[in-house]
Structure 1
Amino acid sequence: AENALTRRYLDRLPQRDWFAQRLASLIDYERRGVPVKRGGVYLFEYNSGRLEQDQLRLSRDPRELGEVIIDPNALAADGSISVPLWSLSPDGRWLAWAQSVGGSDWDSWRIRDLTSGEDLPEVIEGTKFTSVAWLPDASGFFYSQYPFVEGRWDDTRQVRVRWHRLGSDPAEDPVIFEVTDHPTRNPYATVTEDGQFLVYSLFDGYETSGVYYQRLDGATPVGPVQRLLDAWDARYEFVGNDGERFIVQTTRDAPRGRVIAIDLAKPDPADWQKLVPEAAEAIESVALLGGRLYVQSIRDAHALVRLFALDGRPLGELPLPGIGSVGNFSGRADDPEVLFGYTDFTTPWTIYRHHATSGDIELLFRPETGLDPDAFRSRQVFYTSRDGTRVPMTVITPVDREAGQPGPLVLYGYGGFNVSLLPSYSTARAAWLQAGGGYAVANLRGGGEYGEAWHQAGTKLNKQNVFDDFIAAAEWLQGNGYASREQLAIWGGSNGGLLVAAVANQRPELFAAVVPAVGVLDMLRYHTASANARQWSSDYGLAENEAEFRALYAYSPYHNLKPGECYPPTLVMADANDDRVAPWHSYKYAAALQYAQGCKHPVLIRIETNTGHGAGASTSKIINEYADQWAFVAEHTGLELP
């Protein structure tokens, strides 16, 4: 009934067809992912434009298309089957690939022989979010799996690391490691490139982590598990090894991050070698490739990549084509060929190759879209939040909109889990911009733009800072002539759905429209849905703790609606198949908001029925979702289509 009501409302909007056609045109361009090279071959994701799901293609030259290896479109014509994860064996012969149905986070893994094109008979079930760790001889891999309890895979429990030998029955895969002395820590495996070590990265939220290891004799772990980093006092991320030295990225004694080397014979912190010291810029990620460290950092919400030798000597910066973001660095520690991608607000994912030894950079693939980057003006500003904190924000407007001329504008934010919002291309955003709208991205506390202190300032008892930052962004945009109250919409997804719903509750008079998508909206029960949801407590806290309960209850969107208040026009976006943020969050919130609404502004919920939290959505569903969203926003911000 709710979907029928929402459809009647959205389908009558004159802007809906325009956005659907524009999105379909803009998304119809050739797209490629960063290739992964193994055994002299390159594997990458590919979409010719309007395919419902990306294919996997194999080539001997990263500039060439090669041949289709996996085509999810042949598995389901409606795009309901996706391949969210895959891993090429070190010799380039085998492909482990995960299949997801209906956007679910649950995966089933298969192994394809790339010489014959056939899958082996075994199928590995019961996994979420796990990669696979191949042995160098490609005889098998390690992976993390939830336990099978009472006839189902139970994701309220911890994963266990198992070993799978190619051609064997997964039901017989032995458990190699599990955490038995703590109720919420989850282990995930990595095999070092030299095959000498099996490394366990322990995940338990977004503040702290651990690293254990065992030596390997072929596929057999030797000796007891060594708890190398087990203090749980900071984040530790294993980067790679240089013989008996482990290279680790950490926030210990360095909230903006640093890189250390740990001699396994002398693991005491007093003996750690400092490779990359903490700098003014926060470290986002580190990769050991081509005998060098590629250190990706963030400078005022855009990417910076610095290179270091394995003894810590600085080797300069990696030249980037613009002010944007980079990612998916791919290669091996012993191969000078390094592949990576670049994007910014008007440049789609573009693929480059860096020769680590010579320093040469080669453009491998640049997509062509229907977006004219010169038609828009991008400006980074800094505004002051309620407590005096300086917060960055990027504002994109049509170039023909004069300074001080307000117009319809969408403000977007996230503010959580150490996630940094760096410049990136979005077809959905491009459609809104081409329609004449403006767009702003606020880099709120809770993210990782300025390191762990910035993250911590937006978590648990400090979560209100995130909402204050977003409210201050809206006030700055209105006060500086970018949009009036009647022209400013806000939207966000997941944790960003929480953000916009909480802010709409606190300051409903500021906004013309609100779109909370797949949001976390009942903050007293969010952690009960799964073990994964409980690990969000590192950012949110738990209702079982009194101080954290009071903080959660003070802003929980579901619990802070006031009957009779006039709330802005609101379109709640949900998915019945979402097994990450349970859809009951959106159902409860939408029902409570409809009950509380004290004026004639519409409160609608759009419930998708065959996608999940967002990953793996088909091209058609992306087009339809954003056509609905932008039509709703355009209707309530007064956007006049070109």
Structure 2
Amino acid sequence: MTNPSYPDTRRGDHVDVYRNEQGQEVQIHDPYRWLEDPDAPETRAWVEAQNRVSDGILNGLPARQAYVQRLTELWDYARPGMPWRKGKRYFRHFNPGLLNQPKLQVADSPRGPWTDLLDPNTLSADGTVALMGLGQSDDGSQLAYGTQSAGSDWVTWRVRDVQAGQDTADLIEWSKFGGATWLPDGSGFYYSAYDAPRGDTLTGTNRNQRLMLHRLGTPQGQDELILARPDEPDWGFHAHITEDDRYLLVSVWKGTARMNQVWVRELGSRGPFTELVNDFRASFNVLGNDGDTLYLITDEDAPLGKIITWNVRTGEQQTLIPEGADKIDFAALVKDGILLVTLKDASHRVTLYDRQGQKKRDIPLPALGSVLSLATHQDDAEVFLAFTSYLFPTTPYRLHLPDGDLEALEQPAINLDVNDFEVTQEFATSRDGTRVPHFIVSRRGLKRDGTNRTLLYGYGGFNISLTPTFSPSILGWLDRGGVYVAANLRGGGEYGKEWHAAGTLGRKQNVFDDFVAVAEHLIGTGVTSPAHLGIQGRSNGGLLVGAAMTQRPDLFAAAIPQVGVLDMLRYHEFTIGWAWASDYGRSDDPGMFEALHAYSPVHNLREGVTYPATLVTTGDHDDRVVPAHSYKFISELQRVQQGEKPTIIRIQVNTGHGAGKPTALLIEEWADVWSFLEKYLE
């Protein structure tokens, strides 16, 4: 096809001045600075013009309608969520098929019968209001529920009487990055809040989080301030109450570094907190307590994690379960024991220990996959578990203790025979010799002749592990002969603290090298070839795709950077972007400026280069990674692209970073992505 006629994007003359490590001034041209204002008339007109171009291309793709139809069929199956108990009531999320948002249901038994308690589909005509946080009172009679609108991270809290199924008059606004933790008597709950934004709701920086206590029946303006640290504007606070109602615990966080402080005081006390951990040296996650003794997971002096006890009164610490060969991903206290979920080569294992730290037994899982969550109480033998894998729909189980048997509460039935497909795991070798695992999902008996349309997906950041999970969208790609590959890159959390650190700051290039190594391994082993290989990633994964396609445009035929962090010199200027500096560093640090500038996708597009066919996606209400990243990148890419491969942007209105996106919009988005890939990986 001939190169599309793209909108004329104005190039301004704005220049920023940075300093490098030698103290020299460096001038950087930012011609698309004006696109940082999402509400400016010129930006809105540009968005409309770009969407007209992309709509014309995407709607004309030969496979698009077939994907819409097949994805609709694949999405249309009952999805029962894992139950959890509060008091004598059980709760779960449930989607019977194609609802834009799952319902919240309640029952007297984990097997039902279930009654609808809250249906977010009734909160908006287009399904763009989603539940984004729940907290039940200890007896299960009161529900605090948070909603987000049009994909924004801002959460509004309301309270519902569970028995009556009706909302109270309580209303909490301008909350973000925190949940609702109820007082034992159900009279109120703790939550995290920010000052109301002043005209920059979707772009203004989020600092000075406060921990507040809301009492039912009172206006938000009368809520009690529990914690605020204006001298430390980057600190945030998350509250937790021990199950014996003895202690109020506060985890103090700073950015996304997975290091936190732990403060504690007796519940009901108005005295100062005891700062058990008073610096950001490691991660400390409190599992529960036995009187004055807390049980915690920490990676202090244990990069793969260990379980310790910590006496609140005496300060005495003891290692209960020492660091092992595999990373501890998460854990839960159960009756007379501890359930440990560990990662071995990016898939989960579950092991039961007693409270003295002695191993009791391994818990067999249904397949090579992921435990998404555990729900239990620390003195309860009733444990619920959600399990999933690439070819295994997310399924709720009841785990019987102490024998370790898993009982499926419901078995989702999908419109595809998964026995026609298989999952294999292989390992590539990165530039520096590091072993890089990746999962390959394909039809059984894949012919390794280099002709398979293959999508390579990655993330590689923020200590987040990519483990096998089920997705109807991936099935749509597999069903039409595609191959799906997920790479476990440094910067993630698959192998613990050191694996994460090896992909951060001045070592960020390792992530891109790992991704390229997996691509070259797929080519070298005949899975695919450059003409049939596409890459995709979201958010930090969008940065990965942007860096990979600018560094190795010869290696890929198509690229899908979604809601990506693409301007590495200015990411910290918006919303919560400042919190990512622990992974990225900042351009106003002379020691990091050159490293960031060296891989920043916006700044490394070059004239006269043929880049892969590119579909950038973003949402106009994304206040996590503001859409200006994508706007700037596509503007420069359209200007410099050599040849006829299209470079387009899909800007979805009334959507954000992705959480809570309605089913209907997900189907439309993935139909566009897959049909674009099918066309340009021919």
Residue in 2 that maps onto 1:346? 391
Residue 357 of structure 1: CA displacement?
A: 3.7
Could you say which residue in structure 1 is the equivalent of 2:570? Answer: 525
> Does the CA contact (< 8 Å) of 1:197 and 1:213 recur in 2?
no
Distance 1:70 1:473 in 2: 44
In 2, distance between residues paired with 1:565 and 1:223? Answer: 64
User: Number of residues paired by the alignment?
Assistant: 632
Give 1:155 deviation, angstroms.
Answer: 5.1
Which amino acid counterpart does residue 167 of structure 1 have in structure 2?
G
Query: Which whole-Å CA distance do the structure 2 matches of 1:358 and 1:379 have between them?
Result: 30
Q: 1:346-495 maps to which residues of 2 (within 5 A)?
A: 346-404=391-449, 406-495=451-540
Q: Who is 1:201 aligned against?
A: 251
Distance 1:612 1:394 in 2: 29
Q: Which residue of 2 aligns with 1:111?
A: 159
Asked whether 1:176 is paired with 2:226, we answer yes
1:619 equivalent in structure 2: 663
**Hey, what's the Cα distance between the residues in 2 that align with 1:134 and 1:307?**
29
Q: How far does the alpha carbon of each residue in 1:586-613 deviate from its partner, in whole angstroms, 9 at most, with x for none?
A: 0000001111112211100000001110
- Give 1:180 deviation, angstroms: 4.0
Task: Measure the CA separation in 2 of the matches of 1:246 and 1:258.
Answer: 14
C-alpha contact (below 8 Å) 2:450/2:529 kept by paired residues? no
2:344 paired with 1:299: yes
Instruction: Please report how far the alpha carbon of residue 23 of structure 1 lies from its aligned counterpart in structure 2 after TM superposition.
Output: 0.4
**Residues 163-218 of structure 1: CA deviation (Å, up to 9, x unaligned):** 1112221210010112244231111111111111111111113435233334335x
Q: In the alignment, residue 596 of structure 2 is paired with which amino acid? A: L
Task: Say whether 1:32 aligns with 2:76.
Answer: no
Distance 1:401 1:360 in 2: 35
Once the two structures are TM-superposed, the CA of residue 390 in structure 1 deviates from its matched residue by: 0.6
Do residues 210 (structure 1) and 260 (structure 2) align?
yes
**DSSP 3-state at the match of 1:84:** strand
Residue-by-residue CA offset, 1:419-445 (whole Å, 9 max, x unaligned): 111111111100000010011111000
Task: Return the match for 1:95 from 143, 146, 154.
Answer: 143
Letter of the structure 2 residue corresponding to residue 212 of structure 1: V
SS in 2 for 1:122: strand
> Is the Cα–Cα contact under 8 Å of residues 136 and 193 in structure 1 kept in the other structure?
no
Please, what TM-score do these two structures have when normalized by structure 2?
Answer: 0.91
Q: For 1:389-432, what per-residue CA distance to the aligned partner results, in whole angstroms no more than 9, with x for missing partners?
A: 01111111212532445311100000001111111111110000
Distance 1:543 1:387 in 2: 26
Whether 1:162 and 2:235 are equivalent positions in the alignment is no
Partners in 2 of 1:297 and 1:58 — Cα distance?
31
Structure 2 CA distance for partners of 1:394 and 1:117, relative to 1, 3 Å: same
Aligned to 1:248, which of 296, 300, 310? Answer: 296
**Structure 2 contact 622–657 (Cα < 8 Å) conserved:** yes
- Which residue of the partner structure matches residue 380 of structure 2? 335
Give the partner amino acid of 1:12.
G
Work out whether residues 126 and 148 of structure 1, in 8 Å CA contact, stay in contact via their aligned partners in 2: yes
Superposition CA RMSD, Å? 1.5
Paired position in structure 2 for 1:582: 626
Given that 1:489 and 1:637 are in contact with CA atoms closer than 8 Å, whether structure 2 keeps it comes out as yes
Corresponding position: 1:546 with 2:594: no
Q: Which residue of 1 aligns with 2:40?
A: none
Alignment partner for residue 501 of structure 1, among 531, 546, 551?
546
1:121 is paired with a residue of what secondary structure? strand
Q: Which amino acid aligns with 2:303?
A: P
Contact 1:214 1:222 in 2 (8 A): no
Alignment match, 2:12: none
Question: In structure 1, what is the Cα distance between the partners aligned to 2:184 and 2:668?
Answer: 44
| SS of alignment partner, residue 156 of structure 1 | coil
CA deviation vs aligned residue, 1:499-525 (integer Å, no higher than 9, x gap): 011000000011110000000000011
Q: Which of 49, 55, 62 is residue 14 of structure 1 equivalent to? A: 62
- Partner amino acid, structure 2, of 1:559: H
**1:161: how far off?**
0.7
Q: What's the counterpart of residue 287 of structure 1?
A: 332
Q: Deviations over 1:74-120 (max 9, x none)?
A: 22231111112111211010111111111111111111001111111
Matches within 5 A, 1:34-53: 34-53=82-101
For the residues of structure 2 that align with 1:173 and 1:17, how far apart are their CA atoms? 52
Does the 8 Å contact 1:416/1:446 carry over to 2?
A: yes
Query: 359, 380, 397: which is aligned to 1:314?
Result: 359
Please state how far the C-alpha of 1:387 moved relative to its aligned partner. Answer: 0.5
2:678 to 626, 634, 637: 634
Instruction: State the Cα distance separating 1:255 from its structure 2 match.
Output: 0.6
- When residues 509 and 150 of structure 1 are mapped into structure 2, their CA distance, relative to the original with a 3 A threshold, is closer
Distance 1:440 1:152 in 2: 39
Structure 1 599/150 Cα, relative in aligned 2: closer, same or farther at 3 Å? closer
Write the distance in 1 (CA, Å) between the matches of 2:291 and 2:165: 36
Using the TM superposition, give the Cα deviation of residue 327 of structure 1 relative to its aligned residue in structure 2, in angstroms: 2.2
- Residue 510 of structure 1 is matched in structure 2 by 555
Which amino acid letter does the alignment assign opposite residue 454 of structure 1? W
* 3-state SS in 2 of match to 1:481: coil
How many angstroms apart in 2 are the aligned matches of 1:315 and 1:227?
A: 34
Change (3 A) 1:173 1:151: farther
2:128 equivalent among 57, 80, 84: 80
Secondary structure of the structure 1 residue equivalent to 2:170: coil
Give the conservation status (yes or no) of the 8 Å contact 1:134–1:142. Answer: yes
Runs of at least 5 residues in structure 2 that lack an aligned partner in the other structure: 1-48
Return the letter of the residue paired with 2:352: L
1:476-508 CA-to-partner distances (Å, cap 9, x unmatched) read 111110011110000010010000110000000
Offset, 1:474: 0.7
SS in structure 1 opposite 2:76?
A: coil
Whole-angstrom distance in 1 between the partners of 2:523 and 2:289: 51
Letter in 2 for 1:518: V
Q: Assess, with a 3 A threshold, how the Cα gap between structure 1 residues 407 and 152 changes in structure 2: closer, same or farther.
A: closer
Aligned to 1:4: 52
Q: Match for 2:606 among 562, 573, 584?
A: 562
Task: Give percent identity, aligned residues only.
Answer: 42
Residue 308 (structure 1) shift: 1.9
Q: The residue matched to 1:579 in structure 2 has which SS?
A: coil
| Structure 1 segments (4+ residues) deviating >6 Å | 151-154
SS of the counterpart of 2:169? coil
More moved, 286-295 vs 558-567: 286-295
Secondary structure of 1:224's aligned partner: coil
Consecutive unaligned residues of structure 1, counting only runs of 5 or more, are none
**CA–CA distance in 2 between the matches of 1:436 and 1:400?**
12
Say if 2:99 is the partner of 1:55.
Answer: no
Does the 8 Å contact 1:211/1:238 carry over to 2? no
